[in-house]
């Protein structure tokens, strides 16, 4: 599967996305041929090489003729325009989904209906070319799935058709519901409604770059000169399929040197109850040669606030550090298998469909060993051997 990852350190707009796609390898002539199937006139698409912050990039401009600048279209008109074109069906579908989301967002902030929204806020011709061109460009590159970094939204104010409005604009905020965003400190409109609509609609993943073999890289330039390079990077490559399961987890850590050791056991228990996937303690030597402990907890990202609150409540720490990382896990299942001691619960893990570990629940093994007056190690080894024999004989786990 071919993936495209849009890395947006300085935001995103329609022309930046088009520039990045052309710079990545999408032919401008082929793109214009696709757009020519739309019954749309009064514009010209150009591309040139520019420098932003010392780095080269491609700047794509949609030059609108004066006669077309006052043209406004509502959603039904734009839908008819796209549906009546000779664009490939996947391009039509993608462009229509983007425009519907853009109309829904504008309708919500202006208190009207999607059908009644006129796209004067983003420019009717500009929006059609940017949005349809972006989807067509991805199709020409053979991209199957889009991933996007977190988006910086900017700050300050801009002048719009309704007067002076805050940045990010209300429409942009509405489009980015549920999408990762951040503030990079720049007071400018970094992510436009069109850029937000394109990327948030097409993205199947947002945040970190997916595992891929990089084949092409392109840079699209923004119009403004910023303190950082005003560039959007597009990375295209083949997905690296994972034989195991991959997921994003939050790693929460704190270093403690003033807490009674007796308090760690109940703290660790509480962390697991709160949703931690794993918790461990690492002894360290801190400043002034004081012995301390690094407490590390892994949890689903959604559980990070709960874990942080619990650490502040149940430990003496006054500060935490956290990051998101990937972990690879083998598919596993809990089953019951026969042993010499009777049925026991086991955890099976598989690699490529083959069982590679068969582990009995340790608490059951310990209770069984205590009840029979046997060494725990002996019961553990015998249970593992019996379980593997049962599986080799075709025993079906339950």
Q: Domain for residue 398, yes or no?
A: no
Question: In terms of residue numbers, what domain contains 142?
Answer: 2-239
Residue 212 and residue 63 share a domain: yes
Residue 27 and residue 144 share a domain: yes
The Cα–Cα gap between 141 and 136 comes to 9
Q: Which of 303, 329, 355 is the last residue of a domain?
A: 329
Residue 387 and residue 273 share a domain: no
Q: 3-class DSSP state for residue 388?
A: helix
Query: Nearest 10 degrees: CA dihedral of 66, 68, 69, 74?
Result: 170
Residue 81 and residue 214 share a domain: yes
- Tens digits of residue pLDDT in 369-396: 999 999 999 999 999 999 888 888 766 5
Average pLDDT, the chain: 91
- Tens digits of residue pLDDT in 178-215: 888 999 999 999 999 999 999 999 998 888 888 899 99
Query: What CATH number did the domain enclosing 260 receive?
Result: 3.30.70.1380
Residue 282 and residue 140 share a domain: no
Residue 225 and residue 105 share a domain: yes
Residue 133 and residue 7 share a domain: yes
Q: Which of 209, 239, 269 is the last residue of a domain?
A: 239
Residue 13 is predicted with a pLDDT of 96
Beta strand pairing status for 231-239 and 212-221?
A: antiparallel
Is the pLDDT at 363 greater than 50? The verdict is yes
Q: Which of 311, 329, 347 is the last residue of a domain?
A: 329
The DSSP 8-state label assigned to residue 397 in this structure reads P
Q: Domain for residue 397, yes or no?
A: no
For every residue of 297-334, DSSP letters joined together read EEE-GGGHHHHHHHHHHHSS-S--EEEEEEEEE--EEE
Is the pLDDT at 273 greater than 90? The verdict is yes
Question: Token match 């940017």: residue?
Answer: 130
Q: Domain for residue 302, yes or no?
A: yes
Query: What CATH number did the domain enclosing 372 receive?
Result: 3.10.20.300
Is the separation of the CB atoms in 132 and 95 below 8 Å?
yes
Residue 59 and residue 94 share a domain: yes
Which residues are CB-contacts of 296 (< 8 A; sequence separation ≥ 6)? 251, 252, 253, 279, 280, 281, 282
Is the separation of the CB atoms in 306 and 335 below 8 Å?
no
Residue 13 and residue 136 share a domain: yes
For every residue of 167-236, DSSP letters joined together read SS-HHHHHHTTTS-EE--S--SB-B-HHHHHHHHHHEEEESSPPSEEEEEEEEEE-SS--SS--EEEEEE
Q: Domain for residue 97, yes or no?
A: yes
Question: Token match 């205590």: residue?
Answer: 370
Compute the average pLDDT of residues 286-304. 93
For every residue of 14-73, DSSP letters joined together read HHHHHHHHHHHT--HHHHHHHHTTSS--SEEEEEEEEEETTEEEEEEEEEEPHHHHT---
Determine the longest span between alpha carbons in the chain, in angstroms.
Answer: 93
The CA-based angle 381-382-386, given to 5 degrees, is 120
Is the pLDDT at 263 greater than 70? The verdict is yes
End-to-end CA distance of the chain: 36
Q: Domain for residue 96, yes or no?
A: yes
Total domains, the chain: 3
The Cα–Cα gap between 277 and 219 comes to 39
Residue 210 and residue 346 share a domain: no
Q: 3-class DSSP state for residue 282?
A: strand
Residue 121 is predicted with a pLDDT of 47
- Tens digits of residue pLDDT in 47-106: 999 999 999 999 999 988 876 666 678 899 999 999 999 999 999 999 999 999 999 998
Give residue 58's Cα distance to chain centre. Answer: 26
Least confident of 191-200, 327-336, 364-373: 327-336
pTM equals 0.65
Residue 30 and residue 156 share a domain: yes
- Tens digits of residue pLDDT in 14-24: 999 999 999 99
Residue 215 and residue 125 share a domain: yes
The Cα–Cα gap between 215 and 233 comes to 13
Is pLDDT larger for residue 66 or for residue 281?
281
């Amino acid at each position: 599967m071919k993936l495209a990852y849009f890395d947006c350190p300085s935001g995103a707009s329609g022309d930046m996305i088009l520039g990045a796609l052309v710079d990545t390898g999408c032919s401008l002539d082929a793109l214009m041929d696709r757009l020519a199937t739309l019954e749309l006139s009064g514009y010209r698409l150009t591309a040139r090489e520019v420098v932003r912050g010392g780095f080269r990039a491609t700047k794509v401009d949609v030059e609108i003729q004066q006669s077309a600048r006052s043209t406004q279209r509502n959603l039904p008109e734009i839908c008819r325009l796209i549906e009546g074109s000779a664009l490939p069906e996947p391009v039509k579908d993608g462009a229509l989904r983007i425009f519907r989301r853009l109309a829904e967002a504008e309708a919500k902030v202006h208190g009207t209906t999607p059908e009644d929204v006129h796209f004067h806020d983003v420019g009717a011709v500009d929006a059609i070319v940017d949005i349809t061109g972006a989807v067509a460009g991805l199709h020409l590159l053979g991209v199957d799935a889009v991933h996007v970094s977190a988006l910086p939204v900017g700050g300050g104010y801009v002048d719009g058709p309704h007067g002076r409005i805050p940045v990010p604009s209300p429409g942009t905020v509405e489009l980015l519901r549920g999408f990762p965003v951040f503030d990079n400190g720049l007071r400018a409109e970094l992510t436009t409604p069109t850029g937000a609509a394109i990327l948030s609609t097409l993205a199947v993943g947002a945040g970190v770059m997916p595992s891929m073999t990089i084949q092409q890289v392109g840079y699209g330039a923004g119009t403004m000169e910023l303190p950082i390079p005003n560039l959007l990077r597009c990375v295209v490559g083949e997905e690296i399929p994972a034989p195991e399961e991959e997921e994003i987890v939050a790693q929460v850590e704190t270093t403690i040197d003033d807490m009674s050791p007796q308090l760690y056991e109940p703290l660790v228990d509480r962390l697991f109850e709160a949703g931690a996937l794993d918790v461990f303690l690492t002894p360290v030597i801190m400043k002034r040669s004081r012995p301390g402990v690094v407490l590390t907890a892994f949890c689903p990202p959604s559980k990070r606030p709960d874990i942080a609150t619990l650490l502040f409540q149940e430990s003496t720490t006054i500060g935490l550090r956290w990051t998101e990382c990937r972990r690879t896990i083998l598919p596993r299942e809990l089953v019951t298998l026969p042993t010499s001691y009777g049925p026991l619960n086991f955890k099976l893990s598989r690699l490529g469909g083959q069982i590679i570990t068969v582990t009995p629940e340790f608490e059951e093994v310990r209770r069984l060993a205590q009840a029979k007056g046997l060494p725990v190690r002996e019961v553990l080894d015998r249970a593992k051997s019996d379980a593997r024999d049962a599986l080799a004989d075709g025993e079906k786990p339950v």
